[in-house]
Amino acid sequence: MTTTPLNVGLLGFGYAAATFHAPLIAAVPGLRLKAISSSRPNNVHAAWPGVSVCDTPEQLIARSDIDLVVVATPNNTHAPLATQALLAGKHVVVDKPFTLNVQEARDLIGLADQQQRLLSVFHNRRWDGDFMSIQALLKRQALGRIVYFESHFDRYRPVVPQRWRDSGEPGSGLWYDLGPHLLDQALQLFGLPQTLSLDLAQQRDNSRADDWFHAVLHYDPLRVVLHASALTAQVAPRFTVHGTSGSLTKFGLDTQETALKSRLYPPQTNWGEDPTPLLLTLSDTNQQLTESQQVCVPGNYMRYYEGIRDAVQQGGPNPVPAEDALRVMELIELGFISAKEGRRVNPARDSQV
């Protein structure tokens, strides 16, 4: 056990690193954002003038004063860079998706065990306020037995940007980008499905990677629908849930990403508060339906990095064990098989985990 601050090195300074990781690390007591590797040092110095810049990830990983390495680079570099960091004796956080496939995930988990270092994956949307509120409602069975759960992550981005996420290269596309968020939340609520079916499409003009997906997870008799689109100007509810005792609807995304993009960093008053309530339609004992609203609990992405700090310094639980992310990668990989072959896949039968 130690209270000495952990020195954190951040690999990359693209959207995920600049918007999420850097400000969250800097906001958590006991963590010190020590260095960032980037090919754009001026951007780093402008945002974080007190942080040193390394020209390459390898240069940062080799530093003896770095305790924890955060891999927030393009998806196809996650596994090799995390491998280098673990071999250098660093604790490692990997941005989602964990890897490109199951085999890479298994290899990293084995290496972390061998090196006796923490390995965790940034599935931050476990700490969305609306998700945590729904999780609590389901835990106390406020809607009865759940029969249908639908989770949307829709956006309107008709012009395909020039970036690696939309390049068509390995690791690009919406299933790799948003699929891990929705799958991880579904696994937290319901566990591994009996079967999975996935439909993928490229719907925008000049699209080079999937920008629409529709996944159905089968848990007889429950159905879980996970959906994302880049061409939805009038978005559907973020969550729709039906149970034997009522229904729930939630519009709008968790507010933390918007705040971080606006450089409104935690901690601050009203951090993570969501102005859009959960809409509940519940039946009383006479089966008469009553409508009500429930304010979401505040979201708090800082809890992830607080958990990382406590896991390293005090031996606390890993906030997102790599084994959890392995299950997500299993479903990502099986989803591609489903979409290619046009069939349901069975994790118990088809998985290589």
Residues 141 and 85 in one domain: no
98 in a structural domain: yes
User: Residue type for 90, please?
Assistant: K
The C-alpha atoms of residue 306 and residue 86 are separated, in whole angstroms, by 21
260 in a structural domain: no
pLDDT for the residue 24: 98
Q: Which helix (H) or strand (E) holds 61?
A: helix 57-61
| Residue in 261, 270, 256 with CA at minimum distance from that of residue 128 | 256
The C-alpha atoms of residue 123 and residue 116 are separated, in whole angstroms, by 22
The C-alpha atoms of residue 21 and residue 47 are separated, in whole angstroms, by 13
347 in a structural domain: no
Residues 336 and 314 in one domain: no
User: Residue type for 253, please?
Assistant: L
Largest CA distance in the chain: 68
Q: How many domains does the chain have?
A: 2
The per-residue DSSP string of 137-161 comes to HHHTTTT-SEEEEEEEEE-B--SPP
119 in a structural domain: yes
Residues 28 and 155 in one domain: no
Residues 166 and 142 in one domain: yes
User: Residue type for 211, please?
Assistant: D
Cβ of 334: how many Cβ atoms within 10 Å? Answer: 24
Cβ of 113: how many Cβ atoms within 10 Å? Answer: 12
pLDDT for the residue 283: 87
CATH code for the domain of 188: 3.30.360.10
58 in a structural domain: yes
Contact 71, 11 (CB under 8 A): yes
| Mutual angle of helices 179-190 and 129-139, in 10-degree steps | 20
Question: Both ends of the chain: CA-CA distance in Å?
Answer: 33
Residues 146 and 234 in one domain: yes
pLDDT for the residue 285: 63
Residues 164 and 34 in one domain: no
The C-alpha atoms of residue 300 and residue 208 are separated, in whole angstroms, by 34
Secondary structure of residue 309 in the 3-state scheme: helix
Residues 89 and 49 in one domain: yes
Residues 182 and 50 in one domain: no
326 in a structural domain: no
Omega cis (within 30) before 97: yes
The model carries a pTM of 0.95
95 burial type by CB count under 10 A (0-12 exposed, 13-18 middle, 19+ buried)? buried
Residues 113 and 193 in one domain: no
23: containing domain: 6-124+303-320
| Residue in 2, 6, 192 with CA at minimum distance from that of residue 93 | 6
User: Residue type for 106, please?
Assistant: R
Contact 22, 48 (CB under 8 A): yes
Residues 223 and 274 in one domain: yes
| Mutual angle of helices 322-341 and 102-115, in 10-degree steps | 170
The C-alpha atoms of residue 308 and residue 305 are separated, in whole angstroms, by 5
Residues 40 and 143 in one domain: no
41 in a structural domain: yes
- Angle, CA of 319, 278 and 199, to the nearest 5°: 70
Contact 144, 245 (CB under 8 A): yes
The C-alpha atoms of residue 326 and residue 104 are separated, in whole angstroms, by 9
| Local confidence pLDDT in tens for the 353 residues of the chain | 557 899 999 999 999 999 999 999 999 999 999 999 999 999 999 999 999 999 999 999 999 999 999 999 999 999 999 999 999 999 999 999 999 999 999 999 999 999 999 999 999 999 999 999 999 999 999 999 999 999 999 999 999 988 888 998 999 999 999 999 999 999 999 999 999 999 999 999 999 999 999 999 999 999 999 999 999 999 899 999 999 999 999 999 999 999 999 999 998 889 999 999 999 999 876 667 788 999 999 999 999 999 999 999 999 999 999 999 999 999 999 999 999 999 999 998 886 54
327 in a structural domain: no
CATH code for the domain of 78: 3.40.50.720
The per-residue DSSP string of 324-340 comes to HHHHHHHHHHHHHHHHH
Residues 16 and 91 in one domain: yes
Q: Which residues contact 171 (CB under 8 A, 6 or more apart)?
A: 74, 75, 76, 78, 97, 100, 164
